[in-house]
Structure 1
Amino acid sequence: MGVFGDYQKQGGLTRRKALVLGAAGLTVFGATGLRAADMKPGETGRVIRVIDGDSFVLEDGLIIRLAGIEAPRTALKSKKREAWPFAGESRAALSGLINKREVQLFYGGESRDRYGRAVAQVYTIAANGQRDIWIQAEMVRLGLARVMPWPGEYADIAALYALEAEAREKGRGIWSDPFYAPRSPDPNALAQFVDSVQIVEGIITSVADVRGQIYLNFGADYRTDFTVAIAKKNVKRFTAGNIDPLALEGAKVRVRGWVELINGPMIWLNQPERLEILS
């Protein structure tokens, strides 16, 4: 049996967290990890090259990015970017899982990104022709990728978060390095991570609706403290699942996204799947 069996055993989600995850209509479908109504089978093919921990190439030349997760970035000379910690280990792990193997893609939402890459959930194909390993889940379980969903990238987000929590608790892979640690909402500490993707964990002290735009504040002074903002155009993604962001005052949450400096540090939350309710 592949790795499916372990995913459906993950539990312990609070009702509140489950509701937030359900805001985008996501449903746990047992071991498959896919929302059947929204995912459609895509290409199958043999992997001939692994680029990094979340992208690879099929023999027909199609480049695939693993939807819903983010692996450590490799070095990029053109942008003077150094490799993130565990970039090599992540690439090696993905290569060990899929290189020279047959895989099948499954799509939710747009099937191509602006670079022409396929954006898909990926499974290896076993000798009997059946789906075997859900690659996103295995990379997260190993601690060599973190959950990072974008709109339309459907997956069993609850299962991925449970696997990430386990990997983080056990200090696997990236979670053994402070580079990836969840950050405090303390604005002075968080300011050093502006212009990067971070995971921030803290308590929402107040909420506000300003002309339809929602602000989740993590301190007494919105002009300097950390804030999560939900643009008016994105609020419907929460309300579609009967989730009221204004009811989150006092909740302990974990949110992930790009940290900007607007007054204090801020993350724009464009979808509920990037928000975990911890208590």
Structure 2
Amino acid sequence: MASSPRNSRWSLAAISAGAIVMTPIPADAGECADLPVQGDGVVTEVVDARTLRLADGREVRLAGLEPVAEQREAGAAYLRAAALGHRVVLHGADDMPDRYGRQPAYVVLKQGGELVQARLLAGGHALVGIGATSAECLQQLRAAEEAGRMAAAGVWVALDVIKNAANSGDILSRIGRFTIVEGKVTSVREVGSTVYLNLAGRWTRGFAVTISRRMVGVFEAAGLSPKSLTGQRIRVRGWIERRAGASIAARAVGQIERTGGD
């Protein structure tokens, strides 16, 4: 989805050792900060490219994004520069920790009021992940990611970050890895408890998006009825699986977006 962040300004984003690119990032925390406040604290450690530790011992996992393997070191360095030693405010639907005891949150810098996730996405150090709490927050994250792509920042220096659904061999090489795939839905089939969006001929030889039948109503409510996507060009993100062919299981509405075009 080609869109640009609202109220953007320019910031320095390190994309690799010794290389710097000017990348637009949001000047305010945006829609993700409209979620309820779930605490605050000073960042004393950057554990990895999406995990912070606060002075009170809490570990905070940055919600709504997926780190890029090739950018983990640069992403962690960027996160240290942006957040280490700074007070941050945590936003989210609740403060329930995950099974590892980490609190998922949208993290806003107290000084400057910027969303840390947006900085990482605009710098090309991460991709929009799965599970954004609201449609408005998801739109903000996608806009930051698109800003990074348009600036060829970080991972976006490469031209093949978004995989072509027609190139199943390339996609199969990424089994188990978080990947963005784009293509045209050629057919929609329902087999047992699963709906298949076929993006490259027969899914047994090409690529398909799978949706559990019990989730179809959720997609329909969001305007993404599987049958309505026939003939549409879409972008899907998730972990590559292999059944008969390559596939991504869509378990959340935010994984699929219409891109337009033929």
* Structure 1 and Structure 2 fold alike (TM over 0.5): yes
Q: Which residue in the other structure is 1:248 paired with?
A: 229
Greater relative contact order, per chain length (Cα 8 Å cut-off, separation 6+): 1
* SS of aligned partner of 1:57: strand
When normalised by structure 2's length, the TM-score is: 0.83
Q: Which residue in the other structure is 1:21 paired with?
A: none
**Structure 1, 264-273 or 103-112: larger mean CA deviation:** 103-112
Asked if the contact 1:7/1:31 (under 8 Å) is kept, the reply is no
1:113-262 aligned at under 5 Å gives the runs: 113-126=98-111, 132-150=113-131, 152=133, 156-177=137-158, 181-185=161-165, 186-211=167-192, 213-262=194-243
Q: Which amino acid in structure 1 is aligned with residue 87 of structure 2?
A: E
Superposed CA offset, 1:215-246 (max 9, x none): 10012212221000011222222122343121
**Structure 1, 259-268 or 152-161: larger mean CA deviation:** 152-161
Paired with 2:127 and 2:204, the residues of 1 have a C-alpha distance of 30
* SS of aligned partner of 1:121: strand
Query: In the TM superposition, what is the alpha-carbon distance from 1:261 to its structure 2 partner?
Result: 0.7
Structure 1, gaps ≥5 residues long: 1-5, 11-29, 73-83
Paired with 1:240 and 1:230, the residues of 2 have a C-alpha distance of 14
Paired with 1:118 and 1:110, the residues of 2 have a C-alpha distance of 6
Paired with 2:156 and 2:132, the residues of 1 have a C-alpha distance of 25
Q: Which residue in the other structure is 2:31 paired with?
A: 33
Superposed CA offset, 1:98-144 (max 9, x none): 11110110112563211110000110112xxxx71111111111111
Asked if the contact 2:161/2:180 (under 8 Å) is kept, the reply is yes
Paired with 2:120 and 2:134, the residues of 1 have a C-alpha distance of 16
Percent sequence identity over aligned pairs: 27
Q: Which residue in the other structure is 1:14 paired with?
A: none
Coordinate RMSD, CA, aligned: 2.3
**Structure 1, 95-104 or 201-210: larger mean CA deviation:** 201-210
Larger strand fraction of residues: 2
Is 1:62 aligned with 2:35?
A: no
Asked if the contact 2:238/2:250 (under 8 Å) is kept, the reply is yes
Paired with 2:258 and 2:134, the residues of 1 have a C-alpha distance of 20
Q: Which amino acid in structure 2 is aligned with residue 204 of structure 1?
A: V
1:76-95 aligned at under 5 Å gives the runs: 84-95=69-80
Query: In the TM superposition, what is the alpha-carbon distance from 1:272 to its structure 2 partner?
Result: 1.4
Give the number of equivalent residue pairs.
Answer: 237
Query: Which residue among 5, 8, 14 is the counterpart of 2:6?
Result: 8
Query: In the TM superposition, what is the alpha-carbon distance from 1:204 to its structure 2 partner?
Result: 0.8
Structure 2, gaps ≥5 residues long: 9-27
When normalised by structure 1's length, the TM-score is: 0.78
